Copies of this chain bind each other. A is one copy, B any other.
Amino acid sequence: MTSIAVIGHTATTDPSFSLNDLAGGAGRMDVLCRCVNASLFLSHNLRRDTECTLVLQGKPENMKTIRFSGSSVRSLNPDEKSPAALIKKALAIPCGSEFREAAPGVAVRNAGLSRLLAEGGYAILDEHGTDIRKAGALPPAFLLSDHLSFTPDEEALFAGCPRFSVGPSVLHADHAVIILLNELDRRAAGWS
């Protein structure tokens, strides 16, 4: 199982956001939607062994976590609106501190980054890490940020975690996910 987690610093926790204004009113929800699709899509197939967890830190609640599981998600298409519609569904149901399923393969809980990191095992994906190609064994879980840098408080939360980089250019979050998964695919298939 591979886990990708993405912090959405401004992504709204209000389910009334418009599917036609993901980049604006929804607080760059478009970035998170592209990360879901980068994590789960193969050509004409899904990565059934991968999950993508979104940590939404936007208003009004500043803290919700939504998890897409490739093993069981349904009705997911590769355009941005498709995961966005599932995010709306997840935000619309009441939930507590444990994951509650909002749709097949999509679950939501009222918790944020510190809870996720306390569950352990995450490495950080950013430009300051070790080159993934040159790294020894890679961990199964990676955390990255949306279009904004990690905050000092976030950096403090994962201070001891290993860090990896996907290449010499600083990329969009979803593009970094694609390159990471390619490296994992290659290792699994003996292509490296």
Main secondary structure of the interface of A (DSSP, over half): loop
How many chain A residues sit at the interface, stated as a range, is: 35 or more
CB 8 Å contact bits of A6-50 with B (1 = contact, 0 = none): 000000000000001011000000110010001001111100000
The verdict on A166 contacting chain B, using a C-beta distance below 8 Å, is: yes
CB 8 Å contact bits of A40-79 with B (1 = contact, 0 = none): 0111110000000000000000000000000000000111
The verdict on A114 contacting chain B, using a C-beta distance below 8 Å, is: no
Q: Contact: B43 with A147, CB < 8 Å? A: yes
Q: How many copies does the complex hold?
A: 2
**Quick check: which of A91-99, A153-161, A181-189 contacts chain B, the rest being far away?**
A181-189
The verdict on A167 contacting chain B, using a C-beta distance below 8 Å, is: yes
Q: Contact: A167 with B179, CB < 8 Å? A: no
Interface residues of A in 132-167 (CB under 8 A from B): 133, 147, 166-167
Nearest chain B CB to A150 CB, angstrom units: 13
Q: Contact: B38 with A175, CB < 8 Å? A: yes
Chain A positions within 8 Å of B, measured between CB atoms, are 20, 22-23, 30-31, 34, 38, 41-45, 77-80, 131, 133, 147, 166-172, 175, 178-179, 182, 185-186, 188-189, 191
